[in-house]
Structure 1
């Protein structure tokens, strides 16, 4: 039995520290996210597939299921 996929993740802006809980899509990676605190457009760090993998407490659903190599 595989573990349940977590669909909510809390993003923290590295520029201003604003925190927002968002629902992650199961069928797409989110490459850009506009911070509601400072307006900066976040994009994934090198080696990450999406903003959730770079700035959130829970990685995106594809990474949860298949691991780091699935989105490369």
Structure 2
């Protein structure tokens, strides 16, 4: 087994709802952006902040995998 940990993105991120402060851990997709997320506590619809590519980059404890690996947004063209 090769030790390739430096190139492996973290796939688990804790989202914090800006409306109520509720935190929940989610697994980030590696092949798609998550533009919307419903807070399981208050029902608020989380959307990316201007300049962010997804809800993980805006409200997560860890940015999305493309940002981790490439330093840029996964959906910015």
Structure 2 gap ranges (5+): none
1:28-67 matched pairs, under 5 angstroms: 28-67=32-71
TM-score, normalization: structure 2?
A: 0.86
Structure 1 gap ranges (5+): none
1:70 Cα offset (Å): 5.0
Q: In 1, Cα distance between the equivalents of 2:73 and 2:64?
A: 13
User: Does residue 68 of the first structure (1) align with residue 54 of the second (2)?
Assistant: no
Q: In 2, Cα distance between the equivalents of 1:10 and 1:26?
A: 16
TM-score, normalization: structure 1?
A: 0.92
For the pair shown, the structure with the greater C-alpha radius of gyration is: 2
Asked if the contact 1:63–1:71 (Cα under 8 Å) also holds between the matched residues in 2, the reply is: no
1:2-61 per-position Cα deviation (integer Å, ceiling 9, x unaligned): 722100000000100000000000000100000001001100000000000000110001
